[in-house]
């Protein structure tokens, strides 16, 4: 075996050595210089049970490499919404996208903060059996919703109450389900006549013969899937937070421009083989995401949670809601991607 540089060259030959160096340069040239020198930081990212249309950018960031591009190795952790918020407060997970429950936690003093957006519209529907032709036909029926306090309960109840004068318990009955797949199964069994389903699950139910009766996005403006982290991360791990923001922003760009790749992610995370369903989901959602956290939608979110029914004292004004957004970090990260943040 040749151990000296001269011996190595004599075995390989000058031409062979030149070729080897050129090959290595080509390989290394395909990887960003900083990525060649860093080991990805492992992070835990919350997701809801059963998949959600609100969170598709985070699924894309895992599957299509945007997290890795930013030096992050992400593991998705599936839990119910309330459990995700509690785990984030305890720093058992690093980032989570529970908007409604998160806002209530913030109003109660939780040390969390919003860092980057995902969906800009409400994606919830009331999907029903085909015999229900109009909202009034829901009277006396049983609806499968989320737990009280969750978005897939509150948004449906608020829409029916405010726009159709229908009260839960009085005009219709409610059964709380842990996840959307359980509600679809209950529809198929006939134990409920309607369910709160986000767009992906509603599109799938349509193929089974059910119908989308109400889209809450037509009635309620909504931030959906906006990611939160512990406040300590913004001061102690600012670069990590910026990297996370950039990965989500890149994944949103990917969704807008790469239909085939996004199809693959939707198929995997929602277990859908029928291309018609995937096409329907993509058409509904591909341009409905933004890393921005618009102030007006943020205000509407907190106004919808600061009500006596959810424990907020009647007549008590909201605090300055901008304190709940890491606006400077978000704008800095977007600026480094060449995006001009909105005011």
List the CATH number of the domain containing 214.
3.40.190.10
**Domain boundary, last residue among 219, 235, 263:** 219
Q: Does 294 or 1 have the greater pLDDT score? A: 294
User: Are 69 and 94 members of one domain?
Assistant: yes
β-partners of residue 289 are: 119
In a domain, 6, yes or no: no
Cα(231)–Cα(246) distance, integer angstroms: 18
CB atoms under 10 Å from CB of 186, counted, come to 17
Cα(317)–Cα(290) distance, integer angstroms: 29
**pLDDT tens readout for residues 21-61:** 444 444 444 445 554 457 999 999 999 987 888 999 999 99
User: Are 107 and 228 members of one domain?
Assistant: yes
Cα(291)–Cα(340) distance, integer angstroms: 12
**pLDDT tens readout for residues 133-186:** 999 999 999 999 998 878 889 889 989 998 999 999 999 999 999 789 899 999
**pLDDT tens readout for residues 81-126:** 889 999 999 999 999 999 988 999 999 999 999 999 999 888 899 9
- Mean pLDDT computed over 315-332: 95
Enumerate residues 6+ apart whose C-beta is below 8 A from 38: 71
| 247 pLDDT above the threshold of 60 | yes
Q: Chain-wide mean pLDDT for the chain?
A: 88
User: Are 233 and 212 members of one domain?
Assistant: no
State the Rg of the chain over Cα: 24
DSSP letters for 18-35: HHHHHHHHHHHHTS-HHH
In a domain, 253, yes or no: yes
User: Are 231 and 305 members of one domain?
Assistant: yes
Cα(227)–Cα(3) distance, integer angstroms: 54
In a domain, 17, yes or no: no
Q: What residue has token string 């429950």? A: 101
Least confident of 45-54, 128-137, 301-310: 301-310
* Number of domains into which the chain is organized: 2
User: Are 280 and 326 members of one domain?
Assistant: yes
What local confidence, expressed as pLDDT, does residue 28 receive?
Answer: 46
**Domain boundary, last residue among 176, 200, 219:** 219
Cα(182)–Cα(201) distance, integer angstroms: 11
In a domain, 342, yes or no: no
User: Are 110 and 153 members of one domain?
Assistant: no
Q: Is the full-model pTM beyond 0.85?
A: no
User: Are 90 and 230 members of one domain?
Assistant: yes
Could you list the residue range(s) of the whole structural domain that residue 309 is in? 37-121+223-336
In a domain, 14, yes or no: no
């Amino acid at each position: 075996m040749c151990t000296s540089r001269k011996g190595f060259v004599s075995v390989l030959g000058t031409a062979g050595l030149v070729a080897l160096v050129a090959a290595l340069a080509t390989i290394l040239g395909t990887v960003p210089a900083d990525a060649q020198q860093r080991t990805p930081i492992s992070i835990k990212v919350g997701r809801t049970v059963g998949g959600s249309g609100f969170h598709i950018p985070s699924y894309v960031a895992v599957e299509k490499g945007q997290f890795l591009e930013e030096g992050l190795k992400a593991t998705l952790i599936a839990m119910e919404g309330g459990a995700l918020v509690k785990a984030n407060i305890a720093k058992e997970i690093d980032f989570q996208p529970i908007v409604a429950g998160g806002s209530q936690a913030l109003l109660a003093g939780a040390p969390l903060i919003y860092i980057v957006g995902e969906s800009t519209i409400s994606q919830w529907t009331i999907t029903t059996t085909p015999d229900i032709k109009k909202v009034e036909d829901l009277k006396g029926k049983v609806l499968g919703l989320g737990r009280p306090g969750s978005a897939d309960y509150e948004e449906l109840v608020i829409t029916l109450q405010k726009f159709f004068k229908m009260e839960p318990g009085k005009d219709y009955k409610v059964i709380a389900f842990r996840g959307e797949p359980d509600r679809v199964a209950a529809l198929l069994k006939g134990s409920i006549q309607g369910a709160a389903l986000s767009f992906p699950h509603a599109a799938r139910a349509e193929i089974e013969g059910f119908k989308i009766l109400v889209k809450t996005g037509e009635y309620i403006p909504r931030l959906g899937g906006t990611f939160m982290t512990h406040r300590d991360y913004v001061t102690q791990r600012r670069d990590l937070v910026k990297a996370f923001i950039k990965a989500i922003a890149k994944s949103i760009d990917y969704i807008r421009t790469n239909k085939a790749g996004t199809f693959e992610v939707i198929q995997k995370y929602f277990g859908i083989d029928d291309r018609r369903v995937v096409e329907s989901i993509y058409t509904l959602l591909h341009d409905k995401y933004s890393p921005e956290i618009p102030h007006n939608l943020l205000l509407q979110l907190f106004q919808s949670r600061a009500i006596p029914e959810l424990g907020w004292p009647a007549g008590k004004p909201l605090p300055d809601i901008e304190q709940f957004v890491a606006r400077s970090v978000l704008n800095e990260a977007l600026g480094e991607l060449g995006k001009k943040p909105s005011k």
